[in-house]
Structure formats: structure tokens, C-alpha cells
Structure 1
């Protein structure tokens, strides 16, 4: 199937062609037909699979099919968990609405309120927002929820993890006059998501779109074992000095780890930028700008700060700290091999990381290749973790109750 088969507006087809897209991805194929019929959508889509276009295309098509009768607030509302993701959705939306009279804007936390005020008083068609900032404008009655016709919730699993669901549900209640709701999430597992879906979606079309094996194989996944922190740092430097590592995102677990690693790499004269959740918005924007423009080759990031980053030509994702959950791992490695390119995902695994490594391999459904670096072979053996017997677990639980 091509985009032409979906009976999209010629202006949308032209915008897609200019962006270099001719065929829908797996998630777009799964979502677009039902979404264009204004059905509610419940979609599971890992990051990097084209889900942004999967919700933007039907939203824009709706606005073109049913033109606005007069000036007013946004008719399409898109909620995202982070500022960076909101900005990237806005930028992608701007590419798709070129050649039309439609307008798109974003309001996010950490930015001057006057910028938002100017945006909300203008004639706007699509609004991308973080939940907390939009809640403020709803409470102060500066945004009219009755004009929203389409509500789109992106990365619902991350909304749940970050504690945003009560605010998102309040926004959903405020926009109850809408005609359609679309919810996208990397995973649809868990009672929290299930209960939320039951409350806000009406007979949704479920789209569980995993990318085909051919798409997943574009990311070369491997790991190295590290004996200790010093060994780990040597492995990292060897990876960064490899000529194939032209642009990388290095993931760490916490903001403190990001600061420490920044200091280590600076001492070794490696030019990097840092992205972590406690940074002011201007600092975060500057770090992304430096990385995008190629003024620094490497970006050290925490998961909170890097959620939804869409930066082209990232050749490597390096898990300096291995994540504990499989879905976080998939999110991280989705920062490379975007838009049809190939990429590498390299993890540095310490002894205590092996249980997490096993969980991740079960989650992704395939083994991650173990590699040894010349001159940096680990001296320690692979640790064996034995599960405690049920009787011991019962005794421990009983002891805890006392």
C-alpha cells in the first residue's frame, strides 16, 4: 500500500513526498484507515516506527475535510509527556501542513507564559501540549476545551509512569464534546492503562503494530561485559573512538550519573552535551541544538530527558547504564536506525546487570550478541543468579509481617 491508496488530500501527499515518504510504515498501515473513518484508536507502537504521522495525518485530513467556520481555539489537541516530544511533534506537523492554511503550535512547561498567551489568543488549528501546562490554562479559562474535536494522547505508558494520568483524565473530561480519541503507547500492558482506556475511549480499534523483523534488524544489538567501573569507562572510550561511531546518545540511569560521566569525558577531551530532567528548558534546548547541528558528536542523557527524541543520523545508542525494563531498552535503541537508516545499540553490562539483561532479551524476543573487545577482555566470570526457593520466600514474607 502507498499513501495514494489512502485517499489523502493532494497537499498532504505533496508534503509526504517532499519529506521523502512514499509508503506507510507498519503502524501507519494499521491505524490510518480506521482513524480516517473517525474511529477511536488504541495503538501499541514502539518509538521510531512512524507513529507521529499515524496520528497527524488523519487529524490534518479531518481539518481539511471540515474547514473552520470562524476563528477560535485548537480543534485538534495532542498531549505528550515531555517538552522535547511536544516540540518535535510540532515541528513534524509544520512540515505536513505546508501548503495549507492550517496552523500548529505547542505550549510546554518551563517556557515564558507570555509566549503561550500569544499563541492561545491566535487562530490555531492544532495544539501540542504537556499536561501540566495545559491544565493551568484550562483552570484559568484561557483555553476553550469545547472546540476540541480530536484528542490524541501520545506515549500513554510514559504519562502513567510520570504520574500525569489524573491530569490527562481531567483534560479528557473537559474535552468530552470531541468526535474522536486516539491513544498511543509503547506498551498496552498494565491495569493502569486498561482502566484509563475504558474510561476515555469508545469501542476503539486496537492496533498492535510491531515492526516486521526486517525493520528491527536495522539495529545491530550487542553488549560487552565490564569487570568494574574503570573497565566500563575504558570500553566506553574505545566505542566512542571507533570511526563508525559518528554520532551517539549515551544513556545513564540518573542525573547524578550524567554529571559524573560528563566530567570524565570532558577530562578525556571528548566534546559532549548533557540532557537531564533537572535542567532549565533553555539549557535542554541548547544541548539538543548543539547535538543536532553536529557541534558535539555525543549526547549523555537520562531516560526522562530523552523521551521522544527524534534526531537524524544517530549511528550509535550506548547503554552506559543498562535499563531495568525491556520497554525502556526498546525506547532507547529506537533513537538510532530512524527513517530507514541502520544503527548500532551497544550495552556495557556489569555483574549486577545480568538479571536485567536476561529480562530485556526475553522482552525483545531475541538474543543480544555478546562481544569481546581486543585488549579489554573481562577477567571475571558471568555471574549466576539462583532464585530463592518458595519455602524461603514464604519464610521471608512471614518474617516481614511480624
Structure 2
């Protein structure tokens, strides 16, 4: 962490147990970030917090440390678990919170259950039944296990709701309220809500299910960080791949993410980059969970330094040292722009956001500039920037139909309705309610 992003307040000066401070020192956490400096003293006195803070500001450590201290302070003669519930909108964010929890609790005797949809059903069910202290996960599967009486919410002392605005975006609020109404009343637990935006809906949720929360806003005057250098180019569609290859050669990114809007575009770009000598990871909505975790681990460990991603990767990923973000396709939602470029310049580092204002998505740029409150400078595309001698990706040979299927008529219609071709289906933007958020 760069000192410019930190305050003068040291964790050792807060009312945290020695065992927590020891874990913090081991993780090289010495000084607080602004959200930690303002929220932790209140939380450690059992005041509820509704915090407005972007990702990369240290909010995860804020709610984890407050949770740990509250559980350590529990002097019940007979401790009944689970005692804390941390809810996240996506499985990637839940996995990251769990990873941070394990690291920061290395000297504490706490047991965690990581719960999310898509994989490991039996393993997670067994875990949540095993008398754990803290449940971290996404709402859908937690409710599934709750309805099976795998655990009780009667003893919850700490409730954390992370990225509350994203919960609304993904339609999870009914699930959230279902869980909140089955816990002890708000005044009998410590409640924390964090959100990038404090909209009316988020504020209403906070006051309905929390105990007179203190609103803590950590925001700079600009929507995007000054540490991110934003530039744009205006390529014709046929110039996009030569321009990207030229920029990658020019900048030699330490670690970069290239954002696209559709799965089809991601696959095409991935083929070109691999054909031209780049080792890539492709992250889209239909990548199976285990493969996705493996790809993210390879990227975090720099086994792969170039990731192509749809907006499924824009939120909730805490990947350090991403030096460059490329918006190969401009996003169609202005908030997605902020979340995309926010993958770089984290924890006080600087970063580059390079945007392609192409023929297909150019209409998005005026709305993006209005939203962030600044003009993004456009640079000319010189001949030197456009890569030449581009290797074409190999065409995958079409599989021949088996002999028994050659005579069969192609089933292009069903019940009088034409079925979409694979290419049509693949080129539609990803559904935000895709399985990875379940």
C-alpha cells in the first residue's frame, strides 16, 4: 500500500485485541485507510454503520475486523453458532472476503463457512452444519440451506451486507429481507452495510433493518480516481485488433484486463491474441465455477497477465497490480465504466484506462463523460500504433455429422417458431441474472 492512501491512525491504537493486531501486522496492515479510520472506532463501540465506499478502499477489512472483535467480546457461558453472517452479491466477492477473513484471523479460533451456488453442494452443506462461527456467501444458497434447517439465524450477533447497490441490481433484495427478518432484532446485533452509492433504496434498507446507523461517506469529488490516466482512441471496426496489439506492444502491461460486451466478441479477441503469442485467460458468464476460480488464481499469480472479460468480472474482484484496463468495447452502462476502470489504480497505485470509441459503441461515450464529470482526451491513431503482420487465428474445423444424422433434416423450427442460431445467441450481451450471481 502506498502511504498517500493511508491515514495517520494505526490499527494498534484502536480497541482491537492483541490477537487481531498480530494478524494485521503479519499481513502488513499498519495504518488505516480513510474508511477504516472513520468506521472502526464507531463499530468497536457497537454503533451500526452504513458506509459509502468504492472497492479498493479497505472496506472488507473494516467489516471483518469489527466482526472478529465483536465475536471475541462474546462472553456467553454457552456460545451458540453461527454468530455472524456476511452477504455478498457474487460468488467471486464471497470467495475474496473468505480469503481475507482467513488471512486476518490467523491468530483467532474462528471457523468460517463459504457458501455460494454453482458447485460443492454437499461439501458446503456439511460445512455449514459443523458449528461454524461466521457464514460468508451469496443469498440464494444460504437460504436454500436455511430452509433445510442446516443452521439457525437465532444467534446472529453481526450482520454484514456488502455492495448493497449491487444486491438491488441483481434482484436479491427479497432474499436479503427474508434473512434479515429471521435474525434477532437490529438492536441486539451489530449491523454493517457497504455500498458504492447511497441511493434512496439502499438508505431505506439501512434504516429498516439496522439500529440507527451512522452514515459514513468516503468519496472523492471525482467519480473516478485521479490516479487513473484515461485516454481514448477512435478506431474503425477493422482497426480494433491491430490497435490493441499495437498498444500491448507499446505499453508492455504488467497485468491487464481487456473488457468486451459479448461472449462472442471475447472469444474472437481471445483467438487473435493467442494466435499472436499472448497467453490469455477468458472470463465470461458461462465459464464453469471451478475453471473461473482457476483462471482468476492464474491471473493473480501472474501465470497469465492478460485477461479478456465481460462485465461479470467488473465488480467484486480484488486483483492487485492491474496496470492497464482496456475498454475494447465501451460499456453500455455508465456505472460499468467506473467499475471496469476501477480494477486498476487500487490501494494508491496508478493505472491506465484505454478506451476504444468504435463505430458500434461510440454512442456510450457522451453519457460516460457526463457521469464522470470530465472529458476523456482522444489521441490520434498513428501508423506506428497499428500492428502489422497480424497472424490470423486458426479456423476450427467443423465436425462432420455422424452417418446416422446426415440424412436427418435440420431442426431449425420448433412449434412454428424459428430457433436462434448459436451465433445470434452468443452475440447478445450477458444477462445480469446469470448463474454466477446465484
Measured after TM superposition, the shift of residue 351 of structure 1 is 4.5
For 2:91, the equivalent position in structure 1 comes to 83
More helix by share: 1
SS of residue matched to 1:145:
coil
Partners of 1:49 and 1:211 within 8 A in 2: no
CA gap of 1:305–1:313, structure 2 versus 1, over 3 A, is closer
The answer to whether residue 345 in structure 2 is matched with residue 337 in structure 1 is yes
Q: Distance in 2 between matches of 1:129 and 1:68?
A: 26
The answer to whether residue 226 in structure 2 is matched with residue 217 in structure 1 is yes
Partners of 1:251 and 1:303 within 8 A in 2: yes
SS of residue matched to 1:63:
helix
Measured after TM superposition, the shift of residue 355 of structure 1 is 4.6
Deviations 1:253-305 (A, max 9, x none): 23333223222323333211111122211111121122122222211112224
Q: Distance in 2 between matches of 1:18 and 1:339?
A: 18
Map of 1:231-380 to 2, 5 A cutoff? Answer: 231-351=239-359, 353-375=361-383
The answer to whether residue 193 in structure 2 is matched with residue 183 in structure 1 is yes
For 1:165, the equivalent position in structure 2 comes to 173
Partners of 1:26 and 1:212 within 8 A in 2: no
Measured after TM superposition, the shift of residue 93 of structure 1 is 0.8
Q: 1:64 aligns with which of 43, 61, 72?
A: 72
Q: Distance in 1 between matches of 2:173 and 2:227?
A: 34
Q: Distance in 1 between matches of 2:362 and 2:64?
A: 40
Q: 1:4 aligns with which of 7, 12, 33?
A: 12
For 2:213, the equivalent position in structure 1 comes to 204
After TM superposition, the score normalised by the length of structure 1 is 0.86
Q: Distance in 2 between matches of 1:37 and 1:71?
A: 21
Please tell me the root mean square deviation across aligned C-alpha atoms, in Å: 2.3
The answer to whether residue 116 in structure 2 is matched with residue 108 in structure 1 is yes
Q: Distance in 2 between matches of 1:317 and 1:290?
A: 18
Partners of 1:103 and 1:126 within 8 A in 2: yes
SS of residue matched to 1:101:
coil
The answer to whether residue 62 in structure 2 is matched with residue 54 in structure 1 is yes
Partners of 2:237 and 2:359 within 8 A in 1: no
After TM superposition, the score normalised by the length of structure 2 is 0.80
Partners of 2:125 and 2:145 within 8 A in 1: no
Deviations 1:345-395 (A, max 9, x none): 2111124544532333333334333323432789xxxxxxxxxxxxxxxxx
Q: 1:135 aligns with which of 121, 133, 143?
A: 143
For 1:174, the equivalent position in structure 2 comes to 182
Partners of 1:46 and 1:330 within 8 A in 2: no
CA gap of 1:299–1:47, structure 2 versus 1, over 3 A, is same
For 1:388, the equivalent position in structure 2 comes to none
Give unmatched runs, 5+ long, in structure 2: 1-8, 387-438
Q: Distance in 1 between matches of 2:264 and 2:160?
A: 34
Partners of 2:299 and 2:306 within 8 A in 1: yes
SS of residue matched to 2:247:
helix
Q: Distance in 2 between matches of 1:19 and 1:56?
A: 14
